[in-house]
Amino acid sequence: MGLPGCTVCYGRGVLDDVLHGLLDALFKGQPRRDASVAGSTEGRDPGGLCGRHGEPLALFCEDDEELVCDSCKEEEHKEHQCCPLEEAMQDSKKELRNALKPLREKLQGLSTAKQNFDEMAEHIKHQARQAEKLIKEEFEKLHRFLRNEEASLVAALKEEVQQKSQKMQENIEKATSQVSSLSETIKQIEEDMAADEILFLRNFKTTMQRTKCTPQEPEMETEALVDVPKHLGILKFRIWEKMQGIVQYTPVMLDPNTADVCLFVSDDLTSVRYLEEDQSLPDNPERFSCCECVLGSEVIDSGRHDWDVEVGDNTEWVLGVVKETINRKEWFPPSPERGMWTIGLSGGEYKARTPVATSLVLKKKPQKIRVQVDWDRGRVTFSDVSDNTVLYKFRHRFTEGVFPYFSSTCKRHPLRILPGRISVTAE
């Protein structure tokens, strides 16, 4: 007989001894296939033999992406591109290694995102502790009947902390799940790559499909941190309105969530000091990372506003306003064209930050600078508080809101926003 004998029945163990002996004699010397393979529609032997021809699977058809024997090559794969298994395996592994690169990069991105979420979660807790402590200290200075107001504010703070902590925890859990899932996928792919040629090439399609199932890297959300100014901003003034007492009112409060890591914002959010060492703070979207500055907590998009800043003996400072959408992650020369209307002192020279810096000739060294913004008329004016001398004036037609801007690189002297004068008229 010219064809290999069928051995389906051999694997079933249902023949009597006589028939079994006859079959042994009939198919003596012929290659035998396992019953499961003989009934397979794929026609491929796990042992390395072709199910149709009983010959070794020595080639890989690149057109059909399947294992073939020499006879298969001469028949239905005659016009196809075939290559030895070793060559096919090396090429496939190279392709798989290239496919793994973006997965590893994605894993690194996810790990970094998770680390950022962890840091932000811890910072939220720190902000909560600090804000609650300050709220309680302020209330201790007030009369006993204000305790209910204290409890109300603390509750509002805790509610926000709970909401933002919960949201951050969800982000952490999601990132952790994605890291775990992607790590498992990479592990499975690497295990498939370590298999022998037959198993590796047989599973190659499935393995490649795994490389395409990548999770989307989470984006850092804005306003993820505690809105400290909402809870602490002009706190005494709000209480004063209720008790008809007298308290200080500061027209601009600093937003610590925008401060560069080298700037320390005071607990009452009215002064900023340059530090020799950077603080460990989360890199949230609101924070400046390439400029030693901090913004006021509220945007100005209409009306007239002014605030006084004590510069004192500070030798390196910049004051003014910047547009709401200013880039907070890249450094560039400050100018109105960039959305910055500022003046400053640097290297002993007072200058207005125009495209070509404009030197300011002053009769005396100002101790307190007043910044006045008339958004509707498009004016930003700087003056010496002591005698109302105008130092410089910008004119610009505003098309978006602006934030008060403060920058300092003087290690010895902070910048401090001064309290405003408040009067109440009973009607």
Of 248, 369, 230, nearest in space to 297 by CA: 230
Q: Give the pLDDT band of residue 424 (cuts 50, 70, 90).
A: low
Q: What is the pLDDT of residue 41?
A: 36
How many domains would you assign to the chain? 4
Q: What is the pLDDT of residues 199-211, one digit of tens each?
A: 888 888 888 888 8
Residues 365 and 305 in one domain: yes
144 domain-assigned: yes
Beta bridge partners, 305, equal 373
424 domain-assigned: no
Q: What is the pLDDT of residues 15-30, one digit of tens each?
A: 445 445 544 554 455 5
Of 322, 155, 297, 302, nearest in space to 234 by CA: 297
Q: What is the pLDDT of residue 425?
A: 62
105 domain-assigned: yes
Residues 381 and 319 in one domain: yes
Is 360 a residue whose pLDDT tops 70?
A: yes
Residues 213 and 331 in one domain: no
Place of tokens 């699977």: 57
- d(CA 257, CA 234) in angstroms, rounded, equals 17
At residue 318, what are phi and psi to the nearest 5 degrees?
A: -140, 135
Q: What is the pLDDT of residue 74?
A: 86
Is 33 a residue whose pLDDT tops 70?
A: no
**Which is higher by pLDDT, 255 or 15?**
255
Considering 173, 202, 236, which residue would you say is the last residue of a domain? 236
73 domain-assigned: yes
**Which is higher by pLDDT, 212 or 157?**
157
Residues 377 and 257 in one domain: yes
Considering 49, 65, 80, which residue would you say is the last residue of a domain? 80
CATH of the domain at 50: 3.30.160.60
Average pLDDT over residues 351-380: 96
Q: What is the pLDDT of residue 420?
A: 87
Is 113 a residue whose pLDDT tops 80?
A: yes
Percent of the chain with pLDDT over 90: 56
CATH of the domain at 359: 2.60.120.920
Is 222 a residue whose pLDDT tops 60?
A: yes
By residue range, what is the domain housing residue 375?
251-417
Name the amino acid, one letter, at 245.
G
Is 97 a residue whose pLDDT tops 50?
A: yes
Considering 213, 236, 259, which residue would you say is the last residue of a domain? 236
Residues 27 and 46 in one domain: no
Q: What is the pLDDT of residue 139?
A: 76
For residue 99, the tally of other CB atoms under 10 A from its CB is 15
Q: Give the pLDDT band of residue 245 (cuts 50, 70, 90).
A: low
Q: What is the pLDDT of residue 400?
A: 98
152 domain-assigned: yes
Q: What is the pLDDT of residue 78?
A: 84
For residue 418, the tally of other CB atoms under 10 A from its CB is 18
For residue 258, the tally of other CB atoms under 10 A from its CB is 22
Tell me the pTM. Answer: 0.65
**Which is higher by pLDDT, 263 or 427?**
263
**Which is higher by pLDDT, 234 or 109?**
109
Name the amino acid, one letter, at 134.
L
Q: Spell out the residues 6+ positions from residue 224 whose beta carbon is closer than 8 angstroms to its own.
A: 120, 124, 164, 167, 168, 284
Of 72, 84, 67, nearest in space to 201 by CA: 67
- d(CA 321, CA 336) in angstroms, rounded, equals 10
Q: Give the pLDDT band of residue 14 (cuts 50, 70, 90).
A: very low
Residues 27 and 125 in one domain: no
- d(CA 252, CA 3) in angstroms, rounded, equals 95
Q: What is the pLDDT of residue 259?
A: 97
Mean pLDDT taken over the chain: 86
Residues 277 and 370 in one domain: yes
Q: What is the pLDDT of residue 339?
A: 96
182 domain-assigned: yes
Q: What is the pLDDT of residue 132?
A: 94
Is 196 a residue whose pLDDT tops 80?
A: yes
Residues 255 and 225 in one domain: no
Residues 140 and 180 in one domain: yes
Q: What is the pLDDT of residue 15?
A: 42
| 389, 379 contact by CB (below 8 A) | no
Is 10 a residue whose pLDDT tops 50?
A: no
Lowest mean pLDDT among 198-207, 259-268, 297-306, 397-406: 198-207
Q: What is the pLDDT of residue 272?
A: 98
| 51, 38 contact by CB (below 8 A) | yes
The sheet with strand 368-374 has its strands ordered as 263-265, 271-274, 415-417, 304-310, 368-374, 379-384, 389-395
426 domain-assigned: no
Is 421 a residue whose pLDDT tops 80?
A: no
Residues 74 and 90 in one domain: no
Residues 139 and 228 in one domain: yes
16 domain-assigned: yes
Q: What is the pLDDT of residue 17?
A: 52
Strand 358-359 and strand 368-374: the pairing is: unpaired
Residues 117 and 185 in one domain: yes
Q: What is the pLDDT of residue 246?
A: 61
Average pLDDT over residues 181-189: 91
